[in-house]
Structure 1
Amino acid sequence: MANSNTEHSKKLRAQTAKERNQRLKAEGKLRQISMLINSELADQFDVIAKEQGKSRPEVLKMLIELYQQKKQN
């Protein structure tokens, strides 16, 4: 069954996600990083995400894994 798209339901899901993220941050399971990068680099990053069908955190993980593989060879 799909989620309800009423304003109340959207706000409730957003609040639940916010609380979950805060809890995970407090437990040390999540960290938030912020980077200021030039627009061209950010655009390239977003193109990779779109081409791969991944979120930004997933693309960052993918790039780290590629780096680690290359480093081992």
Structure 2
Amino acid sequence: MDVDLTAVRWTKSTYSPENGGNCVEWAPAYASTTGTVPVRDSKSPAGPAMMVSADAFAGLVALARSADL
């Protein structure tokens, strides 16, 4: 399924470093209206986005919080 995400407002993860590096962005407004969370690599904003369910995204966040990163 192709989804047009060009007008979506992206938010950088609070776990992403200030200097760039490995950054993940997600679109909370899109998620709140659809129940699907777009996730992308901030270094490649024109690249693909991974679409995950809200439950799957919550699991990813929980994993990131619990991991020794």
Q: Same fold per TM (> 0.5)?
A: no
Q: State the structure with bigger RCO (CA 8 A, min sep 6), 1 or 2.
A: 2
The structure with the greater share of residues assigned to helix is 1
TM-score (structure 2 length as normaliser) = 0.31
TM-score (structure 1 length as normaliser) = 0.29
The structure with the greater share of residues assigned to strand is 2
Greater C-alpha Rg: 1
